[in-house]
Amino acid sequence: MSEQSRLYPNGHLLADLDWVERNRSREDVVLLDARGSGYEEGHISGARPFDQGRLKDSSSRSIVSAETFRDLMESAGIGDNSTVLVYDDGKGPAAARVLYVMEYFGFRDKVKLLNGGYAAWVAAGKPIDAVSPETVRGRLTNVCAQDGLITTKRDIQSGILDGILLDVRSEEEYKGENKRHNRHGGHIRGAVNLEWTEALDRDPASGVFSFKSYPELLRSFQRLNVAADKTIVPYCQLNSRGAHTYFALRLLGFPDIRPYEGSWEEWGNAEDTEVV
């Protein structure tokens, strides 16, 4: 664990390059490459490709069933005793999406995200591989959804949440100036806006994005009164950016984070929701 990672209350969730080099050959460590493309051209040696889009049930706009999740994880070589390291291109939403869904199904504190992702690995001159490793199917015996880690449309509409709705999309999306492909533009009444990228810093020399230091990251949320004693409900369009904010808040030690899985894909296209 890097010195900076030690400063976060949950710094064990954030791996650096040294951790990967020291641990990637361990039998109990599984590396997942969650990039959308480029795996065949090169990846961290030992990493297996993983399509994070398969974790979403497109028909219900929710997370896949426990049975589907188990099959996906076991096919990637993940078992009960596995430690998972996941990375994407660098900014982290795809990797964070994998981490969030794995924690939702009970893998809390067993998944790490590579700070800076593949971009950091390449920028540091680390070796890459174009060969896919042989994968031995894993075995999971205890996959159980954690209802306290998710928010539904009904939860928001019923007013049962005593917390903060955190819209992590761009300011243009939040204001309704960019509707994307949705029927309605805007945000959920009462939601505050903090774009997910506010959690990141960009190194001017390498161009690599990494998480802000603990004090800087904490201030980003505190200035909007996003506090650890509240229930925090991040949302975006599909809950990839929302999952990234889930991860940032987990790093900070926030105990009650419940992303709205349906996000604007659901809220902004429904006939029974209020849009501001």
Residue with tokens 């790490």: 112
Q: For CA atoms 209, 213, 214, 218, give the dihedral sign.
A: negative
Count Cβ atoms below 10 Å from residue 94 Cβ, excluding itself: 25
Are 94 and 88 in contact, with CB atoms under 8 Å apart?
yes
46 contacts 25 by C-beta, under 8 angstroms:
yes
Measured distance CA(193)–CA(166) in Å, rounded: 6
Strands 111-114 and 83-87, sheet pairing: parallel
Q: Which of 61, 27, 30 is nearest to 47 (CA)?
A: 30
Residue 145 token pair: 């959804």
Hey, which bits of the chain come out as E strands? 14-15, 29-33, 48-49, 56-57, 62-63, 83-87, 111-114, 163-167, 192-193, 200-202, 209-211, 231-235
Q: Are 95 and 119 in contact (CB under 8 A)?
A: no
Kindly name the residue from 15, 72, 119, 236 that is annotated as catalytic: 236
User: Is 144 a catalytic site residue?
Assistant: no
Beta pairing class for 200-202 and 209-211: antiparallel
Question: How far is 135 from 46, CA to CA, in rounded Å?
Answer: 10
The helix/strand/coil state of 10 is: coil
The set of catalytic residues is 236
